[in-house]
Chains A and B, each alone.
Chain A
């Protein structure tokens, strides 16, 4: 399944220290191939979200190297091109947040076309055409001209996914996309994520949605105390975990 080409995302020895005391990430290594779906599990405070936010530099790694689709940035490197490299990585990665973070002063459609027009310099016509396609793909064509405040949580998150996809990203990062949702709305969002995975998107997801981890993910990684404690296929992790800490954690969430 996985070819031996260069990985889409390569994280090498990444550390993140907040202040001088809080060591959240302790030398993380991770390689993710094109088209692979990876789910990161772990107790809260284990550093999952921080790692995800380090990939697109919403957090600056304190040490280590991040590489996304050939763009390499070393932590702490002071280079004139650095700012451009960060923007470059952000254009290649889409991110969905726990709290959606849609722009409340724009309609669903305006949210989706904002990135392509402002960042990629597309014409409005071009952007709208693709945005409508995406709205159809997430099943929200009829909500095209609604402001986010008139949408349910699940609908908002689907618009947020469409907004990220409008940038034609190479990698999608999901930061607990269903944690803020009412239980009956989780399904519609997971459904969209699943279709995205099946269509070959490279996905890194932090989620407690067990169906997604078990049935959609190619690989599951368990994090604790700022590093991996176990990784493997979903079958192995859920049926035959080696680490007692993994077993403990799974017992809590299953």
Chain B
């Protein structure tokens, strides 16, 4: 048969092919069904084990509002730290790719230093050690600097998390930018675009697509790491849960509850990530 007869799609299909097509379809729907059953089974298993453990659900319900009240801090810290990290990541990535020796070496040292030290140490550095630096500076004759550098717990936490995640994300953004083929830069240059226009209009929008999945990873990790601000005595989610659990010797209930709250928050983030990814995939070749 000539390939020209494309218009009559269903006409020329032989019956044995029909059989195989049906098989493929049943396989697909079977797989979907089995996945649903498997997930349902896992959920039932989880609920049953929670009941078997003899959890005090009344107790959990009673303290739920108190614990949830801490989520405000979690959101605040995570949101502001993420914003800061994004800005630092873009600036850092441009620095890492820059041919300016000062800018480049600064960005490279930033990434190396921050990635090479524990977040815990950094948090305390911002909170406890910075005032001491201020004191030393004041001794050199800068008045009022110590008070300026003595940060309250929440701003210190935001700075620590933002600066730390900014360093990791710098490398993600750099890799994303470098993953765009050289031909794109050349086409932009050939049109007469300068370096800034090329980055803004051509390279970065494409890099963003590559960057989003790993950056979402960082976001999710950061939401959970925001619990580190409890080290400085901020009454956020996990801090409240641990306090209450200890006092009433019902840590299991409280920890399970707070774990669920984090899980739900991260599921929302994942949902948003998938939405954005789908939106960014517009230019892709798809069979539909």
Interface residues of A (CB under 8 A from B): 56, 58, 83, 87, 90-91, 93-95, 97, 99, 101-106, 114-115, 118-119, 147-150, 160, 163-164, 167
Contact = CB atoms under 8 A, between A and B. Distances in A.
Given A56-B190, A101-B186, 18 more contacts: A87-B192, A87-B194, A90-B190, A91-B192, A94-B190, A97-B183, A97-B186, A97-B187, A97-B190, A103-B184, A105-B206, A105-B282, A118-B191, A118-B201, A119-B193, A160-B187, A163-B191, A164-B190
Interface in B90-137: none
B189 interface: yes
A99 B183 contact: yes
Interface in B35-57: none
Contacts of B197: 118-119
Contacts of A90: 189-192
17 contacts: A58-B189, A83-B194, A94-B190, A95-B187, A97-B183, A101-B187, A103-B187, A103-B202, A105-B209, A106-B283, A115-B191, A119-B191, A119-B192, A119-B193, A119-B197, A149-B284, A167-B192
A91 B191 CA distance: 6
A27 to B, nearest CB: 25
Most buried by B among A87, A94, A104, A167: A104
Interface residues on B, range: 20 to 34
Interface in B190-223: 190-194, 197, 201-202, 205-206, 209
B285 interface: yes
B283 A104 contact: yes
A164 B186 CA distance: 13
Nearest to B202: A103
Contacts of B190: 56, 58, 90, 93-95, 97, 164
Contacts of B285: 149-150
A33 to B, nearest CB: 22
A99 to B, nearest CB: 6
B192 A114 contact: no
Contacts of A149: 283-285
A150 B283 CA distance: 8
Main SS of chain A's interface residues? mixed
Contacts of A91: 192
B207 to A, nearest CB: 10
Most chain-A CB neighbours within 10 Å: which of B190, B192, B201? B190
A136 B126 CA distance: 62
A195 to B, nearest CB: 21
A250 B158 CA distance: 69
B285 to A, nearest CB: 4
A118 B198 CA distance: 10
Contacts of B189: 56, 58, 90
Contacts of B202: 103, 114
Nearest to A96: B190
A91 B284 CA distance: 30
A83 B187 CA distance: 17
Given A97-B183, A103-B184, A103-B187, A147 B282 contact: yes
Nearest to B282: A147
Contacts of A160: 187
Contacts of B201: 114, 118
Interface centre among B186, B209, B284, B285 (most CB of A within 10 A): B186
A92 to B, nearest CB: 9
A104 B206 contact: yes
6 smallest beta-carbon distances between A and B, as pairs: A101-B187, A115-B191, A91-B192, A101-B183, A95-B190, A147-B283
B184 to A, nearest CB: 6
Given A90-B190, A90-B192, A114-B191, A105 B183 contact: no
Contacts of A93: 190
B287 to A, nearest CB: 11
Nearest to A114: B201
Contact of A167 (B191, B205, B206, B282): B191
Interface in B233-251: none
Contacts of B284: 147, 149
Most chain B beta carbons < 10 A, residue from A90, A103, A147 = A103
A101 B206 CA distance: 13
Interface string B168-185: 000000000000000110
A138 B145 CA distance: 66
